[in-house]
């Protein structure tokens, strides 16, 4: 079988969509080496070089020109004799040739509809048009959570039978045991506190860092934050300065260093208002670190029954749950162990098998 992917995010996105794309190709190529996996894009990057080194993964440079991703990539996949084209980030090409090819699209979330205030009018219109077009022309849609599946049915008016939920996993670094030397090096490099609460994710309004910071006021509990700053950061920074809260912002953290930081954290906190899935929750559970997250959207799907849930709008609720776990080592350990058992359902082999079964079924 030959599967072609829209690899724009694979090569050029450092966070969510990029991680999803790279992990998906890696696990398919590892567990189903008998197939060919074609990465279509105008250019490649140094990112994920290890995946490109696999013998069954091939980069193919797509046609040049304006809007070539929309107008030419589909035909490029057909020229490669691909059986399936998989759009990894909610989009599919608009133009196709006459050769038979099955089309699959992964839709991660419809946050631009649920939370329009985070997007410009123009972006909302473009996103909706692209997602609706892809959903209509796809033979099958992959939703990354039950929450996203329901949103696709509700907002894009797609029949349920066309959608399959296949969860996503996370980078293999979070499942590996790093050496003591590397752990020590990471501690020293980032000057990490002896004990701390960790938050990972883009520093934007939807991820709700301000309410974590408000919750930590007058507690002396250190917070470590790993994530790209947006203009929302200024609001958070002002509150930190005015209230003298102990917060460490880290930059330039590699995936392997991040895996160590997760393991060293006492608590991982993720009070996002809305997510399509919430990979950082999975990363924390694989790291055997207890999770506090929101009781909204898909986050209980990711966190499982033994994570601790909060109302993301209520910083006092967040504070109470942080204090409870901070002061109870046995409860942290118990929940972390249970969370580690639960997160095995997001293991690579399981997800790769579900994807491959979908590919095979669509070609039948």
Look at the alpha carbons of 18, 117, 109, 259 in this order and tell me if their dihedral is positive or negative.
positive
pLDDT in tens, 175-209: 999 999 999 999 999 999 999 999 999 999 999 99
- Stretch 151-167: mean pLDDT: 97
Whether residue 340 is predicted with pLDDT greater than 80 in this model: the reply is yes
Pair type for strands 267-270 and 247-250: unpaired
pLDDT in tens, 261-310: 999 999 999 999 988 888 999 999 999 999 999 998 889 999 999 999 99
| DSSP codes of every residue in 296-361 | STTHHHHH-TTSEEE-TT-HHHHHHHHHHHHT-HHHHHHHHHHHHHHGGGG-HHHHHHHHHHHHHH
Token pair listed for 70 = 């929309």
Whether residue 162 is predicted with pLDDT greater than 90 in this model: the reply is yes
Short-list 36, 72, 22, 90, CA closest to 276: 90
Whether residue 313 is predicted with pLDDT greater than 80 in this model: the reply is yes
pLDDT in tens, 144-155: 999 999 999 999
- Predicted pLDDT at 69: 86
Q: Three-state DSSP class for 84?
A: strand
Give the range among 18-27, 253-262, 352-361 with minimum mean pLDDT. Answer: 18-27
**Threshold 0.85, pTM exceeds:** yes
| DSSP codes of every residue in 204-254 | SGGGTHHHHHHHTTTT---EEEES-B-THHHHHHHHHHHHT--EEEE-S--
d(CA 323, CA 313): 17
Structure-token match 């997250």, residue found: 293
Q: Three-state DSSP class for 13?
A: coil
Q: Give the CA count within 13 Å in the CB-facing half-sphere of 243.
A: 18
d(CA 51, CA 203): 29
- Predicted pLDDT at 145: 92
User: Of all helices (H) and strands (E), which one includes residue 52?
Assistant: helix 49-52
Whether residue 15 is predicted with pLDDT greater than 80 in this model: the reply is no
pLDDT in tens, 23-67: 999 999 999 999 999 999 988 888 788 899 999 999 999 988 888
**Terminal-residue alpha carbon distance, the chain:** 12
Say what percent of the chain tops pLDDT 90: 86
Structure-token match 């794309």, residue found: 21
Q: Three-state DSSP class for 255?
A: helix
Task: State the chain's mean pLDDT as an integer.
Answer: 94
- Stretch 87-100: mean pLDDT: 95
**C-alpha distances in Å from residue 138, one per residue of 68, 76, 117, 158, 359:** 19, 17, 29, 11, 13
Short-list 46, 23, 37, CA closest to 277: 23
**C-alpha distances in Å from residue 74, one per residue of 21, 62, 162, 230, 281:** 18, 10, 21, 34, 34
- Stretch 232-255: mean pLDDT: 94
- Stretch 91-114: mean pLDDT: 95
d(CA 326, CA 198): 12
- Predicted pLDDT at 179: 95
Whether residue 14 is predicted with pLDDT greater than 80 in this model: the reply is no
Short-list 313, 253, 302, CA closest to 280: 302
- Stretch 314-324: mean pLDDT: 97
Pair type for strands 163-165 and 140-143: parallel
d(CA 73, CA 135): 17
- Stretch 77-90: mean pLDDT: 96
**Strand partners for 290:** 267
């Amino acid at each position: 079988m030959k599967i072609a992917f829209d690899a724009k995010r694979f090569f050029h996105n450092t966070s969510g969509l990029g991680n999803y794309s790279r992990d998906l190709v890696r696990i398919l190529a590892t567990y189903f080496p008998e197939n060919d996996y074609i990465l279509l894009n105008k250019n490649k990057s140094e990112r994920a070089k290890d995946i490109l080194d696999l013998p069954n993964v091939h980069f193919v440079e797509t046609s040049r020109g304006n809007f070539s991703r929309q107008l030419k990539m589909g035909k490029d996949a057909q020229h490669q004799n691909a059986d399936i084209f998989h759009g990894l980030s909610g989009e599919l090409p608009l133009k196709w040739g006459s050769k038979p090819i099955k089309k699959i699209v992964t839709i991660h979330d419809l946050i631009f509809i649920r939370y329009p205030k985070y997007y410009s009018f123009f972006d909302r219109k473009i996103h909706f048009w692209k997602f609706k077009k892809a959903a209509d022309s796809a033979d099958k849609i992959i939703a990354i959570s039950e929450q996203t599946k329901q949103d696709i049915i509700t907002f894009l008016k797609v029949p349920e039978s066309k959608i399959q939920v296949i969860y996503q996993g996370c980078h293999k670094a979070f499942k590996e045991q790093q050496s003591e030397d590397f752990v020590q090096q990471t501690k020293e490099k980032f000057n990490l506190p002896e004990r701390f609460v960790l938050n990972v994710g883009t520093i934007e309004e939807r991820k709700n860092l301000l309410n974590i910071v408000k919750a930590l006021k007058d507690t002396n509990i250190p917070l470590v934050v790993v994530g790209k700053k947006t203009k929302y950061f200024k609001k958070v920074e002002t509150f930190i300065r005015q209230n003298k809260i102990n917060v460490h912002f880290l930059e330039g953290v590699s995936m392997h260093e991040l895996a160590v930081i997760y393991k060293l954290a006492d608590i991982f906190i993720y009070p996002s208002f809305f997510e399509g899935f919430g990979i950082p929750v999975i990363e924390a559970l694989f790291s055997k670190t207890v999770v506090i997250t929101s009781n909204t959207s898909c986050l209980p799907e990711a966190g499982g029954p033994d994570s601790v849930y909060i109302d993301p709008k209520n910083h006092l609720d967040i504070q109470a749950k942080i204090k409870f776990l901070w002061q109870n080592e046995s409860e942290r350990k118990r929940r972390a162990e249970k969370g580690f058992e639960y997160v095995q359902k997001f293991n690579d082999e399981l997800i790769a098998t579900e994807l491959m079964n979908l590919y095979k079924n669509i070609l039948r």
